[in-house]
Amino acid sequence: MNYYLFGYGSIMSPKSASRGMKKVLHKDDFIHVVLNGYIRTWTAAELLFFEQTQKESTGVFLNLSEKVDKKTNGVLIPISEKELEHMKKREKNYDCVDVTNKIETSLENISVFTFITPLERQAKTGMPNAYIPARYLDILQDSFDTWGEDFENSYKSTTEDMNFTLMQGPYRFVDAQQQEHV
């Protein structure tokens, strides 16, 4: 069995994925795919410390939400069981979900996992002190620069609008264990 990680946010960027997985990844390691039954949403909530405000706030990141008639683009990255365990620590506020049967691919004998924040831990529109880190958008832009205009257009068409304010400047995860795995 070959294991893969479906990346739909920062993991679409080879630079970010390499940092997160603690190994050097090249463009050839990524496979563009479509995930059926989901749409990208700005609902993943993480407790962050923003240098600009010098206080803890909710950081809002990309997430996947089930939508039967929708699909979203992303990438598959080969991953070992050990690397998947590492990613579970990095993505600690997400659930690791098997989406093998929802991926459009010609690959055989694979298991595909992704990370999804469950509904009870999601950010809600109008939530006080909740911000999208502008530097996270820089990571997404790196993936668009890597994969091109068609990939970016597909991303835009399969992602709900941002309903949170952007927060400029550096940030870090409040949870020391999570920050260690970034």
- Domain assignment present for 51: yes
Separation CA 87–CA 49 (nearest Å): 21
- Domain assignment present for 180: no
* CATH (domain of 123): 3.10.490.10
pLDDT at site 89? 83
DSSP-based three-state secondary structure for 106: coil
Where the chain has pLDDT below 70, the residues are: 176-182
Beta-carbon contacts of 126 under 8 Å, excluding residues fewer than 6 positions away, are none
Average pLDDT, the chain: 92
- Domain assignment present for 179: no
- Domain assignment present for 69: yes
Q: What digits encode the pLDDT tens for the residues 14-27?
A: 999 998 888 999 99
Q: Which domain holds residue 61?
A: 2-173
Q: Tell me, what amino acid is at 45? A: A
- Domain assignment present for 178: no
Domains of the chain: total:
1
- 85: tokens are 């365990």
How far, CA to CA in Å, does 117 sit from each of 41, 82, 95, 166? 10, 21, 6, 20
pLDDT at site 69? 94
- Domain assignment present for 48: yes
Whether 14 and 147 have beta carbons less than 8 Å apart is answered as no
